[in-house]
Amino acid sequence: MKIYNTLTRTIEEFIPWNKDLISFYTCGPTVYHYAHIGNMRNYIGHDILDKTLRYLGYNVKRVMNITDVGHLTSDSDSGDDKMVSSAKRENKTVMDIARFYTDAFFRDFELLNNRMPEVVSPATANIHEYIKIITKLLDTNYAYKSGGNIYFDTTKLDDYYKLTNHKADEMVVGVREGVEEDSSKKNQNDFVLWFTKSKFEDQELKWDSPWGLGYPGWHIECTGISIKYLGEYLDIHGGGVDNIFPHHTNEIAQSEAYIGHKWCNYWFHNEHLNDETGKMSKSNGAILTVSVLKEKGYNPLAFRFMCLMSHYRRQLVFSYDALDGAANAYKKLLNKTSNIKFGENVSKKDYQLWNDKFKACLEDDLNTANALTVLYDLLKSNVNDDTKYHLISKWDEVLSLDLLKKETKKAQNEEYILEMIKKRDEAKKNKDYQLADEIRSNLLKQGIILKDTKEGTFYELDEKIS
């Protein structure tokens, strides 16, 4: 498989540290608010990579954190703790906020058919890992104590900027107006590993540490959780493009300083989904979530389909027009795929040929748009239905669009079936039994069984269509 690696800025052949088990880490959400559909595009991208690796035959161990402490409103350790200000806003405890928005996140995550990572771990559950790492970084002089906090000294590394390929002065994290710059730092891009005496006197969550009561910075959690569950040799680490600097740059710095060798080989970054104003933000009031789309009558999988129609490294602009277009195309696609019945008469030759075409698209830096084109081509082709069924079933393990699912078919076809039942009732009323029978047998061919009862006609779906 070929995949774009942010670290080398090239599309590379994927060669794992250990081909028997791929280690894959995803930066999880900061659970101070709902995850918007932009965040969800990022997790769909990660899900496609995860499932593609499995489809290609790899065993994968995937780990994701939940940021429930330490992420400040500015990525440069300034501003307020996002969790604390959210708790104040909603008059709840930080832990209540974390629980509520973590649940909301996973509800939407599942509505999109994303696969749950093997390990999901909140930042607050791994404090001793961070203390262990920071202790060593202090011992080896990569870290220093200043103004009560512990900082990582970014000048200790020759290649601190290797993920961004930029020079130091180009990569200074912006300091917002009204936010004082942290005068305890030795260098502008040094970052906090552990806050002890800080400006957040009202921080609810604090833990004992060798440096006093305090709490971890944002970046250290991903290093701690990743090394704890995936060891010192990581294959893939991913996030959105905004994570490249400073978050992932800082993760590499502290992780490699801690373990003393290269840590992660492939850095996977998803481009953003923005709205027409150019930003899709969690902190600017109205939040467009997958659940909101569902309430508006959209199938969440139509949103997934929309994401898969574009490449994960391309920016995508969200509009309801674009979503309507995707929802329509998705519905038409389902009308075709869900009519294909299960059968055993599979042509091995065709299966191989078409599966190779589909695989080649995914192996080409996860080109899901081309993979969908292969699906459309298959549907148009004269490959027999049984072979089509088996191919689509396999491909849907990656696409996860419920292409063959009974319930999807039911939902999508309900309107049509009810219309047919009405027509048949009318035909019977007019004593046109031939038309009534024709309608019944036509539906039966599509796996829809009509049942006449005293209360009226109902339908069931043929169990053979799985």
Distance between CA 440 and CA 424 in Å, rounded? 8
Q: Is residue 262 helix, strand or coil?
A: coil
Distance between CA 24 and CA 458 in Å, rounded? 48
> Among residues 55 and 229, whose Cβ is nearest to Zn ion?
229
Residue 445's CB: how many other CB atoms inside 10 A?
10
CB of 52 to ligand AMP, least distance (A): 19
Of 75-83, 220-228, 343-351, 407-415, which segment contacts Zn ion by CB under 5 A?
220-228
CB of 427 to ligand AMP, least distance (A): 52
Closest CA to 257 of 380, 155, 325, 392: 155
Supply 283's token pair. Answer: 């902190």
* By the rule CB under 5 A, 222 interacts with Zn ion: yes
> Among residues 22 and 27, whose Cβ is nearest to ligand AMP?
27
> Among residues 323 and 465, whose Cβ is nearest to ligand AMP?
323
Distance between CA 261 and CA 253 in Å, rounded? 11
CB of 357 to ligand AMP, least distance (A): 29
> Among residues 30 and 209, whose Cβ is nearest to ligand AMP?
30
Q: Kindly write down the DSSP assignment for every residue of 108-171, as one continuous string.
A: HHHHTTPPPPSEEEEGGG-HHHHHHHHHHHHHTTSEEEETTEEEE-GGG-TTTTTTTT--GGG-
Of 22-30, 126-134, 141-149, 333-341, which segment contacts Zn ion by CB under 5 A?
22-30
Supply 297's token pair. Answer: 């009558």
Q: Give the residue nearest to ligand AMP (CB).
A: 240
Binding at 299: pick from Zn ion, ligand AMP, none (beta carbon under 5-8 Å per type): none
Locate the DSSP E strands across 213-352.
215-216, 234-240, 264-270, 273-274, 316-317
User: Which ranges in 296-384 belong to alpha helices (H)?
Assistant: 300-308, 320-337, 348-363, 368-380
> Among residues 46 and 388, whose Cβ is nearest to ligand AMP?
46
CB of 35 to ligand AMP, least distance (A): 6
Distance between CA 247 and CA 240 in Å, rounded? 10
Binding at 222: pick from Zn ion, ligand AMP, none (beta carbon under 5-8 Å per type): Zn ion
Number of residues that bind Zn ion (CB under 5 A): 2
* By the rule CB under 5 A, 66 interacts with Zn ion: no
> Among residues 220 and 443, whose Cβ is nearest to Zn ion?
220
CB of 243 to ligand AMP, least distance (A): 4
Q: What backbone phi and psi angles, to 5 degrees, belong to 136?
A: -70, -40
Residues binding ligand AMP (CB under 6 A): 27, 29-30, 38-39, 41-42, 67, 239-240, 242-243, 270, 272-274, 280, 282
Supply 148's token pair. Answer: 């009560």
Distance between CA 256 and CA 223 in Å, rounded? 10
Binding at 301: pick from ligand AMP, Zn ion, none (beta carbon under 5-8 Å per type): none
> Among residues 27 and 398, whose Cβ is nearest to Zn ion?
27
> Among residues 25 and 263, whose Cβ is nearest to ligand AMP?
25
Binding at 366: pick from Zn ion, ligand AMP, none (beta carbon under 5-8 Å per type): none
Burial of 389 (0-12, 13-18, 19+ CB in 10 A): buried
Binding at 333: pick from Zn ion, ligand AMP, none (beta carbon under 5-8 Å per type): none
> Among residues 314 and 423, whose Cβ is nearest to ligand AMP?
314
Q: Which of 27, 290, 334, 450 binds Zn ion (CB under 5 A)?
A: 27
Distance between CA 101 and CA 462 in Å, rounded? 39
**In the range 430-449, which residues lie near Zn ion by CB under 5 A?**
none
Residues 6+ apart with CB under 8 A from 176: 73, 74, 78, 79
Give the footprint of Zn ion on this chain (CB under 5 A): 27, 222
